[in-house]
Amino acid sequence: MTSHQQHPGEQGPAEDRAPQGEDLAALLERLLGRAPGKTQKDLATESGVRYPTLNAWVNRTRGTSRIEPDTIRSLVEVFRRWGVEVTPAEMFTAAGRPVPGRTDEEREKRLLKLYRQLPEDKQRDLVRYAEAALRLSHVS
């Protein structure tokens, strides 16, 4: 279980978008409150997170230290589509995760995940495209 981290005596001004020490549960509740008519189920469905998982994060019965970076980014994208301002950095920080850039390893993992979801003929097309892009990059 992830415990709510507080920093005694550290209170930011009321207009701070991500109060110091705000964990993922508090952030999700605050952002959902700014999305009229939207529920945890809506967020789960649109972000691709299983509802029981999202609900466990909100109820602090499941840790957040192993949430995939793409899952965090997906939550941010959904809130932004709903007109709720939030940054990836706010979401990563609230989840207790370092704010990553897209690393080589992360890009490779994402590409492989996408590649494996393609039908075989599209996989071959993607390999041909990558080979052509590589040839072009050596010409430039």
Higher pLDDT, 133 or 107: 133
17 pLDDT higher than 90? no
Give the global pTM.
0.60
Q: Are residues 23 and 1 in contact, defined by beta-carbon separation less than 8 angstroms?
A: no
For residue 56, CA distances in Å to 6, 24, 60, 80, 125 come to 20, 11, 6, 22, 41
Residue 40 in contact with residue 54, Cβ under 8 Å? yes
Distance from C-alpha of 98 to C-alpha of 125, rounded to nearest angstrom: 36
Q: What is the pLDDT of residues 24-73, one digit of tens each?
A: 999 999 999 999 999 999 999 999 999 999 999 999 999 888 898 889 99
Match domain 24-94 to its CATH number in 1.10.3210, 2.60.120, 1.10.260, 1.10.10.
Answer: 1.10.260
CB atoms within 10 A of CB 45: 14
Spell out the residues 6+ positions from residue 130 whose beta carbon is closer than 8 angstroms to its own: none
